[in-house]
Amino acid sequence: MTSCSAKFARSRRPRQLSLAGALLVAAILLSVARPFLHAQATPQTTVIRAGKLFDPQSGQLQDRPVIVISGNRIESVRSGNTPVPAGARVIDLGDATVLPGFIDVHTHLTSNAGGAGYEGLGISTPRAALTGAKNARLTLLAGFTAVRNVGAEGYADVALRDAIEAGDVIGPRMQVSGPPLGITGGHCDSNLLAPEFHFNAEGAADGVEAVMHKVREVVKYGADVIKFCASGGVFSKGDNPLLEQYSPAEMQALVTEAHRLGRKVATHAHSALAIKDAVRAAVDSVEHGIFLDDEGIQLMKEHKTFLVPTSYPLFWLEEHAPQMHFPQWVLEKAAIIIPAAKQNMTRAFRSGVRVALGTDAGVYPHGENGGEFWSMVTLGMAPIQALQAGTINAAELMGWSDRVGSIRKDKFADLVAVNGNPLADVSLLKHVQFVMKDGVVYKDEISSSAAKAEQ
């Protein structure tokens, strides 16, 4: 029995290759693999020609740009009759204007317009993530190649970000917050269920120790940025947008802990007092800023705090709110905040507060994000400033100035194009005709090139 076992064991022992045999096998494997290795090491070269290029850093339009892209990065930006590299794919956009891919730093991709009120209680986290996949595609096709998603229950936005990065779904680059932080009963909590449910939103936290713990928790589960509610809001029941919610001490602890962990902080803040206390706590951006006053403006300028005005919903709600069947508390609050916001945003823009474009997409239908350029200009911002808010300023707020926000060498090949001059007619940005992200064309209604990426 023992001898049979030993013989069987010897029969299964791998035979030893001679040195010459091993070298021969290695040579054969290398010759087979070489073409594949070469293909991976040589990214595709794409050349884009257009009539104009908007450079947000100079604020100027450049004539006849020639943009050379290698793989997903910009290799060079020149003008005129620059020679085209051999074998390159050429996309001729004619007289169109090319711009950097737009950036929206305040979206809610995992929710749809009209979801306020009790119907929102029936949306599960998996359903929200799938809604996000739809809205991410709409946002990308609208020309927004990077976004911050500031608020999603169940970390649905974390799942969406990861799916986009893995190539499972189409969408913009994302920074996400996961559940927003807020006081019990505040704008970032849920006050729709009866007391016997004993329900609080995931981000509800009260007191210095609790908010520090909650910051650590959302970072643990994938948050790139921390979002908290410093004041009441419009689409929440039972709170007041004119009042502060978190105390200055809680804000200070929250922001300090987030920064210690390498995360920037965005705050939903309508109340004038909440805005000022959040700025003093070193928050990175004030979202909405509805009741921003002169003292708050001065503080924001001193601290170089970004204002994310989300102005387009002000106009959209005026037109569509009656048809959306919003709860009565939403309509009552909107009637107060819309005129105040328009007045205060105009004053903030003229004062020189730093502005990064954010739209609050999800309050209105996704894919209409370009309307924010129009609404900011309508409220007094110059077209060049509006474009800078949606490119280099937004990139700076996200900490991504080295990769997006302008069409420069070594940055990601994220580009959009429109027929016409957006500095003369900013409404053109509501409907872009060309979208490229990472060197891949997702929308092309301009060029005569037959080489288009699969949609």
Report which of 292, 265, 298 is spatially closest to residue 281, judged by C-alpha positions: 265
Architecture of domain 102-398: Alpha-Beta Barrel (3.20)
CB distance 268 to 248 below 8 Å: no
Give yes or no for residue 83 having a pLDDT over 90. no
d(Cα 69, Cα 30) in Å, to the nearest integer? 30
pLDDT band at 17 (very low <50, low <70, confident <90, very high): very low
pLDDT band at 2 (very low <50, low <70, confident <90, very high): very low
pLDDT digit string (tens) for 425-441? 999 999 999 999 999 99
Give yes or no for residue 311 having a pLDDT over 70. yes
Place of tokens 């040195």: 19
| Choice between 80 and 333, residue whose per-residue pLDDT is larger | 333
Instruction: Please name the amino acid found at residue 332.
Output: E
d(Cα 363, Cα 346) in Å, to the nearest integer? 21
Give yes or no for residue 329 having a pLDDT over 90. no
pLDDT band at 9 (very low <50, low <70, confident <90, very high): very low
The pLDDT of residue 453 is 40
pLDDT band at 324 (very low <50, low <70, confident <90, very high): confident
pLDDT digit string (tens) for 333-377? 999 999 999 999 999 999 999 999 999 999 999 999 999 999 999
3-state SS string for 119-181: HHHHCCHHHHHHHHHHHHHHHHHCCEEEEEECCCHHHHHHHHHHHHHCCCCCCCEEEECCCCE
Q: Where are the domains of the chain?
A: 2-41, 45-100+411-444, 102-398
> At 301, is the secondary structure helix, strand, or coil?
helix
Mean pLDDT of the chain: 90
pLDDT digit string (tens) for 178-211? 999 999 999 998 888 889 988 888 999 999 999 9
Give yes or no for residue 261 having a pLDDT over 80. yes
Query: Which pair of structure tokens corresponds to residue 379?
Result: 């409220």
The pLDDT of residue 409 is 97
pLDDT band at 136 (very low <50, low <70, confident <90, very high): very high
CB distance 137 to 165 below 8 Å: no
CB distance 128 to 156 below 8 Å: yes
CB distance 56 to 388 below 8 Å: yes
pLDDT band at 325 (very low <50, low <70, confident <90, very high): confident
| Choice between 409 and 29, residue whose per-residue pLDDT is larger | 409
% the chain with pLDDT above 90: 78
CATH no. of 45-100+411-444: 2.30.40.10
Spell 120-130 as b/e; 16+ CB within 10 A means b: beebeeeebbb
The pLDDT of residue 448 is 53
pLDDT digit string (tens) for 26-50? 444 444 444 444 445 568 999 999 9
Report which of 357, 364, 373 is spatially closest to residue 427, judged by C-alpha positions: 373
Report which of 244, 317, 239, 266 is spatially closest to residue 106, judged by C-alpha positions: 266
Instruction: Please name the amino acid found at residue 51.
Output: G
The pLDDT of residue 25 is 42
Strand boundaries in 23-143, DSSP class E? 45-49, 52-55, 60-63, 65-70, 73-79, 89-92, 97-100, 102-107
CB distance 357 to 344 below 8 Å: no
pLDDT band at 452 (very low <50, low <70, confident <90, very high): very low
Question: Could you tell me which residues are beta bridge partners of residue 102?
Answer: 144
> At 67, is the secondary structure helix, strand, or coil?
strand
Region 136-145: mean pLDDT is: 98
Prediction pTM value = 0.89
